[in-house]
Amino acid sequence: METGMPVLSVVEGIENVLDRHQRDKTAIIAILQDIQDEVNYLPEDALRYVAHALDIPLSKVCSLATFYKAFSSKPRGEHVIHVCLGTACHVRGAVRVLEAVERNLGIRAGETDDSLQFTLETVNCLGACALGPIMVIDGEYHGQMTSAKTKSLLKKMRAGEAA
Cβ-proximal residues to 40 (8 Å cutoff; 6+ apart), any chain:
75, 76, 78, 116
My answer on whether 95 and 146 are in the same domain is yes
Separation CA 137–CA 3 (nearest Å) = 32
Asked whether residue 118 is domain-assigned, the answer is yes
My answer on whether 106 and 57 are in the same domain is no
Question: What is the predicted pLDDT for the residue at 161?
Answer: 54
My answer on whether 93 and 137 are in the same domain is yes
Asked whether residue 56 is domain-assigned, the answer is yes
My answer on whether 30 and 91 are in the same domain is no
From 20, 41, 67, give the residue that closes a domain.
67
State the total domains in the chain.
2
CATH code at position 86? 3.40.30.10
Residues 27-52: tens digit of each pLDDT: 999 999 999 988 889 999 999 999 99
Between 8-20 and 44-54, two packed helices, what is the crossing angle to 10 degrees? 40
Separation CA 17–CA 40 (nearest Å) = 14
pLDDT along the chain (163 residues), means of 10: 52 91 96 91 94 96 91 91 96 97 96 93 93 94 96 90 49
My answer on whether 33 and 97 are in the same domain is no
My answer on whether 115 and 152 are in the same domain is yes
From 67, 90, 116, give the residue that closes a domain.
67
Question: What is the predicted pLDDT for the residue at 13?
Answer: 86
The per-type count for the chain, helices as H runs and strands as E runs, is: 7, 4
Question: What is the predicted pLDDT for the residue at 1?
Answer: 42
Asked whether residue 1 is domain-assigned, the answer is no
My answer on whether 83 and 59 are in the same domain is no
Separation CA 125–CA 64 (nearest Å) = 22
Asked whether residue 120 is domain-assigned, the answer is yes
3-state secondary structure of 122: strand
Separation CA 121–CA 14 (nearest Å) = 26
Separation CA 47–CA 43 (nearest Å) = 7
Asked whether residue 74 is domain-assigned, the answer is no
CB 38 within 8 A of CB 76: no
Separation CA 123–CA 32 (nearest Å) = 21
From 17, 39, 67, give the residue that closes a domain.
67
Reference 100, options 142, 144, 161, 149; nearest CA is 149
Question: What is the predicted pLDDT for the residue at 91?
Answer: 96
Asked whether residue 3 is domain-assigned, the answer is no
Segments forming the whole domain that contains residue 125: 79-158
Question: What is the predicted pLDDT for the residue at 104?
Answer: 95
Question: What is the predicted pLDDT for the residue at 9?
Answer: 67
